[in-house]
Amino acid sequence: MNILRLLFELFLLYMLYKLVFDFIIPVYKASTRMREQVRNMRQKMQEQQQEPSSHVQNDQPGSNSSQSVDKEYIDFEEVK
């Protein structure tokens, strides 16, 4: 009976080991990495909002970029 109990306890320890090192630690690392990426993205967005945008010059009336986009538009017909 002691051998069965010992085997059962070893099996439980093995399962606990697999749970910790194959599930909990990778999930923790992935969540930490995602938090860091979100923090970096928010920081970059705040920096872009604070500095003057170079897109303002392209959106002025009389800009050729908006006219060229209208000329490049091709209307399509649905094929049946």
- 6-45 residue pLDDT tens: 999 999 999 999 999 999 999 999 999 999 999 999 999 9
Backbone angles phi, psi at 79, to 5 degrees: -90, 130
User: Is 3 within 8 Å of 11 (Cβ atoms)?
Assistant: no
> What is the pTM assigned to this prediction?
0.52
Residue 14 CB partners (closer than 8 Å, separation 6+): none
Going by C-alpha positions, the residue among 68, 43, 48 that lies closest to residue 58 is 68
Per-chain mean pLDDT for the chain:
83
| Token pair recorded at residue 69 | 């986009």
Instruction: Report how far residue 73's alpha carbon sits from residue 67's, in angstroms, rounded to the nearest whole number.
Output: 10
